[in-house]
Structure 1
Amino acid sequence: MEQKIEKLVQWLQDKVKEAGLNGAIVGISGGIDSAVVTHLIKRAFPEQSLGLIMPCKSNPHDQQDALKVVESSGINHLVIDLTSTHQTLFSQIEEQLKQTSQWNEKAAKLGDANTRARLRMTTLYAVANNFGYLVVGTDNAAEWHTGYFTKYGDGGVDLVPLVHFTKGEVRELAVALGVPEDVITKAPSAGLWEGQTDENEMGTTYNMIDKYLKGEEVPEEDRLIIEKLHNQSHHKRELAAAPPKF
């Protein structure tokens, strides 16, 4: 893992140099993936890296875990609370939607969550512009394959260093990098609503997705879920579709 870490650090340095920029920024959620990326960019750019903590209707424990990652990595950080900004924006959206005949409370709940992810992306780029940094994403191989990320939210980034690493491999990276133990072992969650976990929402486990990605046999039910998630999310992994030139 240390060799892979060295290669990832070199790759990050190369991509920032190619872009003619100064360093890198990441949103620190308090989860394992962002913790690993935080440690990586701090290694790659000891003096020119930044972690951004962006509470937005969030569980206070997530911010506490994010601060543990700041401490373990030694990265400079800012805290920008987006709760009131999100409330102002989404309350207006919701008010107008409720006046239509197609108001869908379940869909609105997801829209609320995705809007938070996109506000965080907007905030990351505003801060990145100030420092001349690239925005580094946190999606791992399982999330990328299944589309378990918000398009133009946590998927709206410049670099995705973990995209070829399974969730199990991300845990190995976390141990090697010195990520706090309770961050490594906490249940993966996007923090979308109270009690939300990634695996409950996807309908399968990261362990099953990891096995599938490695070509190992998984139960038929899990295989069908994984393939359905992958097929439904093709658009998330591609640039905006354009027609052929007429």
Structure 2
Amino acid sequence: MLVAIPTYNERENLAEVVGRTRRAAPEAHILVVDDGSPDGTGEIADALASGDDHVHVMHRADKQGLGAAYIAAFRWAMERGYGAVVEMDADGSHLPEELPRLLAALDGADVVLGSRWVPGGSVVNWPLRRRLLSRGGSFYARIALGISVRDVTGGYRAYRSEVLERVLASDIESQGYCFQIDMARRSLDEGFQVVEVPIQFVERTHGESKMSQGIVLEAMARVTRWGFDHRVDQVRRLVTPSKRQAPDTLS
């Protein structure tokens, strides 16, 4: 099993997150995907990897977005035969100590979503604006796409490798919040079993959030388009007459 951790300017958080992850799931391997962080995060990742054969580093030339970083990690994992991949933020907001529960749930599912908005889930130190944005985004995506997932934008999740092989067979261009929504809807469309496990999400204490207005607007635009396509497809199925078998004309 591989834990993929994308990074950009996370030098204050990375060593602690990697250490806690190794203690929480000693058998897991970790891949740090650094997008050319100018603050030296990549060098810290290299130092961690040099002393631990369970830690690996992928260096990318520049900041290409969360979605692209995860896709690169997924492909890296599939090329090396990992059976499952976990997404985890580098800022400490996803508690590594909850990783065993996600992995246990994966025994009976294809995709496990760490959820803030199911019973037992929670957020810590989030302002009201962020709560409304997250819950509102999940609600809008749920209604537009006709899915039952309560926390569709969350980034703490686990995928079986066969899910990634199927989903990545087509191009994925979305990023940020939108990437997480896209992966969830594609997994459901492919018929995979998706379950939610309650988690506690803790606001970062070091560094700056990568959330931006552009990421939110991209998510709204893409979800609206996907929702429109979904409704059109539903209507098409209703109005298209089913094909009947031709009568047997042989005497």
Structure number with higher strand proportion: 2
Q: Which has the larger radius of gyration?
A: 2
TM over 0.5: no
The TM-score with structure 1 as length reference comes to: 0.39
The TM-score with structure 2 as length reference comes to: 0.38
